[in-house]
Amino acid sequence: MRLAASRVAEVLGAELHGPDVEVDGASVDSRTITPGQLFVPVVADRDGHDFVPAACAAGSPAYLTSQEPVGGTAVRVGDTAAALWALGAHARGLLPDRVVGITGSVGKTTVKDLVAGALSVALATHATRDSYNNELGVPLTLLDAPDGVEALVVELGARFPGDIARLRELTRPTVGVITSIGSAHLEHLGGLDGVRREKGSLIEGLPVAGFAVVHDVDCTPDVRARTEAQVVTFGVGRGDVRATVVGRDAELRPTVRIESPWGSGEVALSVRGDHQAANAAAAVAAAVCVGVGFDRALAGVGRAEGSRLRGEYWRTPGGLRVLNDSYNASPESVAAALRALADVDAPRRVAVLGEMAELGEASADAHRRMGDLATSLGIDVIAVGTRAYGGTVVEDRAGALAVVATLPPEAVVLVKASRSVGLDLLADQLREGGVPSR
């Protein structure tokens, strides 16, 4: 979204220093800034103000600051994070009302990708990049919407009570999707009931003319009572929009049959794992609610690619097959990944698992259950930095690599953990041929 720096200052009630220039979108990371973006230096573990010169050198024509400007064009504000939020609210007011907001315990990012694919066949669509789903990522998504956009797909995440309501008020979705209600972030949200309250708050503020797209399993009477919007349910073999897996290729990409009030048909998905059937049903339902025809929405879902670190499948230089699902982990997503791994035809299947974080009192039992599930599926576990799964326990990534080096070339390895564990770095090592020679 293009804005004059003077307009940014006006919206924020702030001071403009330097020449009036135009900005297009915004960024909080000087390392990935795109020329033209407004730089927003956030004060967190590190002070983003230290990187203003680097952002300007990378092509940022202007920056926000709560300190003395250091040259160029600056908009001086009291709090840069609060200013970013206010700019996001201003941007939302300039965008159309075809907005799909997506939350849930698992599958948010993939459903976001699938919905964007379904909408883009008929509408100029902008979607959340990667998993930019928090108090910084959501306003950045709004500000990065290009001119002429006709539909917006926004992922909304929560770690603490009230997060979803606040993000919903910022984005004002007309279609709200709850992918699932499960055990992610139990520690901070107050157990499963707290997760249910938090995720369900997405649909409370939907307009009467809007749509709440909810997994049939989770759509209890109390959930329906939380919204005045029309409720559309989805699921595997159940719900208003029903998905069934009817085939699967050698790289775990399922072919899904979807039946709905608007039509039925089959589609080969580009994302991996049979659990994607429900995600595809949710995406088709959301797209039709926005106004895309069923057949076009189904085709768009089939063409949509998933975000990185989610269900990637490739071979190492030595021939080892890797299912890289290392972006994050909860009991539900680990179970789905283990079942996908079990579907691979291989002489040996191994899951390299790190801790599932933020589960609170449920943590020990959840890890034990996932270890037991792996055993029941004939999968060997390499547990990195935790004994909670059982299996072969190693201290760190180097230890995991050493064990992987003993596997036969045609084995298949799943890499899965919460983001804080950093097993995506292990996957990178495997991709680059970092397995020690035997």
Residue 435 pLDDT greater than 70, yes or no: no
CA angle 176, 228, 184 (to 5 degrees): 40
297: three-class secondary structure by DSSP? helix
104 and 73 together in one domain? no
159 and 271 together in one domain? yes
Residue 418 pLDDT greater than 80, yes or no: yes
194 and 134 together in one domain? yes
182 and 114 together in one domain? yes
Domain for residue 83, yes or no?
A: no
Domain for residue 292, yes or no?
A: yes
| CATH number assigned to the domain comprising residue 391 | 3.90.190.20
Structural domains of the chain, count: 3
Which residues lie below 8 Å from residue 426, measured CB to CB, with a gap of 6+?
326, 352, 384, 397, 400, 401, 415
End-of-domain residue from the set 303, 338, 353: 303
How confident is the model over 128-145, as pLDDT tens digits?
998 899 999 999 999 999
**379 closest CA partner among 370, 387, 368, 388:** 370
How confident is the model over 262-319, as pLDDT tens digits?
999 999 999 999 999 999 999 999 999 999 999 999 999 999 999 999 999 999 998 9
Q: Tokens 């029941």 appear where?
A: 376
Question: In 46-188, which ranges are E strands?
Answer: 62-65, 73-76, 99-103, 125-127, 151-155, 175-178
**259 closest CA partner among 237, 241, 274:** 241
25 and 141 together in one domain? no
Domain for residue 87, yes or no?
A: no
How confident is the model over 87-142, as pLDDT tens digits?
999 999 999 999 999 999 999 999 999 999 999 999 999 999 988 999 999 999 99
pTM exceeds 0.85 for this model:
yes
Which residues lie below 8 Å from residue 219, measured CB to CB, with a gap of 6+?
231, 233, 239
**Domain range enclosing 56:** 2-78
299 and 326 together in one domain? no
Do 150 and 96 contact (CB within 8 A), yes or no?
A: yes
Domain for residue 84, yes or no?
A: no
- Amino acid at the residue 263: G
| CATH number assigned to the domain comprising residue 187 | 3.40.1190.10
Residue 368 pLDDT greater than 90, yes or no: yes
